[in-house]
Structure 1
């Protein structure tokens, strides 16, 4: 009890997860409201932290965007690595990659939209470009591990472009259309 008879609340230990909760909340806010809806107040509410915590950890909105993009990229790369590790060695990689593209358009659609929202934000915010470059490099390495370095780079670009175009397309491409493009890319020139 304090001297005035009320129960004093002691400050608990530092919350080491607060920064990451704020980063994840920033992704959630972008998912719900888009980049333009990202505010410290909205992120604080989504993270369940005081407004001062968001501004303490991330002074500007670009700081929030940067951490959100890094978090989204790291999560996406982790999921893709798990996907690739679970493919048997003799998998038809073109078919598997096509199925992956289709999952981004259907089952993972909400996450796909927020990831691309954050990715495209780097067009006007140069400090975000390091995160997008790391994301692209991880895709290139991942796809190159099943093909070769040059084809991996081509597939990374094709993957990103196909997903972005298909998310915006009406109607969306069929799995067969996507697979035909992936097969052509893997087969190389003259195929």
Structure 2
């Protein structure tokens, strides 16, 4: 008599990534304060126990999710700037960053607002933000002075937030970039 093969449990190798993506989706919908393990599990369509297995504390989960967001945003930022061969192209790259796909959309804006707010209240998250800003400025310094890099980084962040509320013309932003890039 043949017996059926015994089923064994197999871990989903993408489970951690799925949880992190679902966490960001949940934060975008409900904010940090409204994000719970249960909502994340529901968004990821996985058992609640899987979320707590991979992330025993909500702070660890939020830290890793926001760190992933910061890493992904910086990677896109750096890739856009790295394509620039000279100062003029770098200026245009900054405008592309401000108006590009990576920084557009309600979800991206909501996550940015939540990230800044959470970083203000969470010391370990401030370090993630500081690292992100230092990396961004270092990328900008490949084309501009350190002072200009600080000003341009602030312009980029500010314009992205402003654009979520008030339309701004690309030509106007380019003129701002040119002025600040001369510092």
Class of the TM-score when normalised by the shorter of the 2 chains? 0.7 to 0.9
Distance 1:123 1:90 in 2: 34
TM-score under structure 2 normalisation? 0.84
Please say which of residues 131-140 and 172-181 is displaced more in the overlay: 172-181
Superimposed CA distance per residue, residues 133-173 of structure 1 (whole angstroms, 9 cap, x where no aligned partner): 11111111111111123322221122112222332x3x322
CA RMSD after TM alignment = 2.5
Post-superposition shift, 1:182?
1.5
User: Does 1:72 pair with 2:72?
Assistant: no
| Partner residue, 1:99 | 96
Match of 1:59 among 56, 59, 70: 56
- The aligned counterpart of 1:155 is 152
1:28 positional shift: 1.3
Q: How far apart are the structure 2 equivalents of 1:134 and 1:35?
A: 21
Query: Is contact 2:80-2:93 (8 Å) kept?
Result: no
Following superposition of structure 1 onto structure 2, how do residues 16-55 of structure 1 map, counting pairs within 5 Å?
16-55=13-52
Aligned residue pairs, count: 181
With over 3 angstroms needed to count, the CA separation of the structure-2 counterparts of 1:8 and 1:35, relative to structure 1, is same
State the match for 1:174 in structure 2. Answer: 169
Structure 1 distance, partners of 2:77, 2:109, is 13
Whether contact under 8 Å (1:72, 1:115) holds in the other structure is no
| CA distance in 2: counterparts of 1:160 and 1:106, whole angstroms | 10
Matches within 5 A, 1:102-141: 102-103=99-100, 107-141=104-138
TM-aligned CA deviation for residue 174 of structure 1: 1.5
| Local SS of the residue matching 1:185 | helix
**Alignment check: 8 A CA contact 1:65 1:118 kept:** no
| Cα distance in 1 between the residues matched to 2:152 and 2:40 | 35
